[in-house]
Amino acid sequence: MAPSKANTAAAKFNVRFLLEDKPWATEFKAHPPASELFDIAFDPAAVASTRFKAFVREGAHDFGELAIVTFLQAKFYDKPFVLLPLVVSGNFHHKSVAYNTDAGEITPTTMEGRKFGVRTYSQTTGVWVRGILQNDYGTDLDKVTWVTYEDAHLAEHTDPPNCLRAQGGPKTLIPMLLNNELDGGLLGGNMPDDPRLKRVIADPAGDAEKWEQEHGCRPINHMFVVTKELCNSRPDVVRGMYDMMVKVRTKDNYPFPVGFDGNWEALRLVSKYAYQQGVVGREYAPEELFADAARVLRA
């Protein structure tokens, strides 16, 4: 990957930074703290996921947020990125799977034989939802047909045989679901206000609370990553950016671990789920995922 800026240790580095327009980030993006080490050039995208493919395929950013399953795939395919021990976002996903009641009642154990839509098979929310359904409710994921709409962020990924690409021109999940082309879908938390739609998990809030108590964590969606190039050429910039983002991100009601000694059970679980579903070819322990970052941040 060709460097796009000065490479000397004394030079002030212009960090190409990907960060979504989240409420906690608004003031930071408008007025980032001054640094003697770096300036920040924010990617203009309001929704970070629209730029993840460019991040991992083209090296379009030096530092920023990335979906954790995208990072796991990047790790598996030996892409030059380093995971930092700081969470950008996460949420409970028991609420994220819904069905159209025109297809009859659907529960986690009666999803088999049905068609469920998901943006991409390797989408982080999809991996969490399927992992919870499989491991906590006994859903046989191989007997569900997953209808997708986009390619994975990593070009090397191949969907399993029980995936179909939506046909008939550009399609999106919610119109297909409401038109009875699908039985259900992985919608995230934004279910349309339509009386035909119901949650597959009947008590998502109650079950999510029990899940958190059992596992001692909450699901992680996006984390901060940095390129290996920047770690190698300007570790001082990486340390400065990381310290800055710890202060910015953890100011208000931050419910996730920070640093290498935190409870990273959520990382272990999402790695397990991704492996079970064929999204990556092996599981990763948190300490392995953070090994590169430890060499930089603990120097």
Checking if the pLDDT of 290 tops 80, the result is yes
Checking if the pLDDT of 114 tops 80, the result is yes
Mean pLDDT throughout 130-159? 96
Q: Quick: pLDDT tens for 204-239.
A: 999 999 999 999 999 999 999 999 999 999 999 999
pLDDT band at residue 4 under the 50/70/90 scheme? very low
Greater pLDDT, 241 or 252: 241
Residue 161, judged by CB atoms within 10 A of its CB (0-12, 13-18, 19+), counts as: exposed
CA 37 from chain centre, in angstroms, equals 29
Mean pLDDT throughout 21-30? 92
Checking if the pLDDT of 7 tops 50, the result is no
pLDDT band at residue 5 under the 50/70/90 scheme? very low
pLDDT at 8: 45
Checking if the pLDDT of 265 tops 60, the result is yes
What pTM was computed for the model? 0.93
Q: Quick: pLDDT tens for 270-286.
A: 999 999 999 999 999 99
Checking if the pLDDT of 60 tops 90, the result is yes
Mean pLDDT throughout 16-42? 95
Mean pLDDT throughout 23-41? 94
Write the secondary structure of the chain as one string of H (helix), E (strand) and C (coil): CCCCCCCCCCCCEEEEEECCCCHHHHHHHHCCCCCCCEEEEECCCCCHHHHHHHHHHHCCCCEEEEEHHHHHHHHHCCCCEEEEEEEEECCCCCCCEEEEHHHCCCCHHHCCCCEEECCCCCCHHHHHHHHHHHHHHCCCHHHCEEEECCCCCCCCCCCCCCEEECCCCCCCHHHHHHCCCCCEEECCCCCCCCCCEEECCCCHHHHHHHHHHHHCCCCCCEEEEEEHHHHHHCHHHHHHHHHHHHHHHCCCCCCCCECCCCCCHHHHHHHHHHHHCCCCCCCCCHHHHCHHHHHHHCC
pLDDT at 73: 98
The rounded mean pLDDT for the chain is: 94
